[in-house]
Amino acid sequence: MRALMRGRDRPPAPGVSETVAGDLADANALSRLVAGADIVIHNAGLVRARTRAAFFEVNLDGARRMAATAAATTDAPAFLLVSSLAAKRPTVSAYAASKAEAEQAARQALAGRRFAILRPPAIYGPFDDATRPLFQAMRRGLIPRLGPKGVRVAMIHVDDAARAAIAAAENATTDGPVFEIDDGAGGHSWADIRTAAAAATGRRIVQPPVPAWLLKSLGAWGDAAARLGIATPFLTSGKAREIMAGDWIADPAAAPPNWSPEVSLASGFRQTLACYRERGQ
């Protein structure tokens, strides 16, 4: 397995036998990356950014360059774009819009080539910065409820997501199928998440609701911090709108063929917490 690496001093991920130094703006690096490949999986992207332009620069332009590079090779590798369930609602946030436009750009660049699109939900597991605060709060016995009371949110463990990516790539066609995945539960309520967290930690979990006005206010503070260059916050107005948008669930009929999830929410939580404990995080 060959991977594109931005930092030369970063160790490669498990299973990576070869690395190519560069980034998504480096045409030579992208060409070296895809040369001789049977399958190209584009999983790079931003889930947090200070500006709308930054989301589009990486999520849209990066995907377009990667797809165009793969399309230009004589080896004709199958191409998989890892998108997001957020692409189903492109008007909700800059992130969602960048993912939706990336899908269209890849489809145009790969016309006549074998490709597929995978829309995962929230992916959690060890080493994930976006979901780490959830597990830190879990260990303290506190998981705030975000969004409407009855909302259902799809989730998936990183191991299942990785297997789904391979299955989706193996089922790429010139029609460019769009696959959606989750952990098989059809989305989780916040009560489900609390129950799984209690089972994983062996302790009672308190789940105070976060009112919509407070969530919006925190998102506005995040916007201000981004504009001032203070931080690149995860919770912005766009993210608040995503949280308040209602259910985020996958279509079970759109799962990749020959794939099914294996990791339940409770077992995934236990495994992830154990990894954090081992690393002292």
Assess whether pLDDT exceeds 90 at residue 132: no
Q: How far is CA 276 from the centre of its chain?
A: 20
Q: How far apart are CA 11 and CA 5, in angstroms?
A: 9
Q: What is the pLDDT of residue 131?
A: 87
Q: How far apart are CA 249 and CA 187, in angstroms?
A: 5
Residue 162 belongs to a domain: no
Same domain, 214 and 242: yes
For 82-125, the DSSP string reads E--GGGG-TTS-HHHHHHHHHHHHHHHHTTTS-EEEEE--EEE-
Radius of gyration of the chain (CA): 19
Assess whether pLDDT exceeds 70 at residue 60: yes
Residue 50 belongs to a domain: yes
Assess whether pLDDT exceeds 90 at residue 6: no
Q: Give the total number of structural domains in the chain.
A: 2
Question: Of the ranges 12-16, 20-24, 48-52, which one carries the lowest mean pLDDT score?
Answer: 12-16
Assess whether pLDDT exceeds 80 at residue 14: no
Same domain, 135 and 15: no
Average pLDDT over all residues of the chain? 93
Domain residues for 44? 1-119
Query: For position 53, which CATH number holds?
Result: 3.40.50.720
Closest CA to 180 of 120, 245, 126: 120
59: DSSP letter: I
pLDDT digits (tens, 9 = 90+) for 79-122: 999 999 999 999 999 999 999 999 999 999 999 999 999 999 99
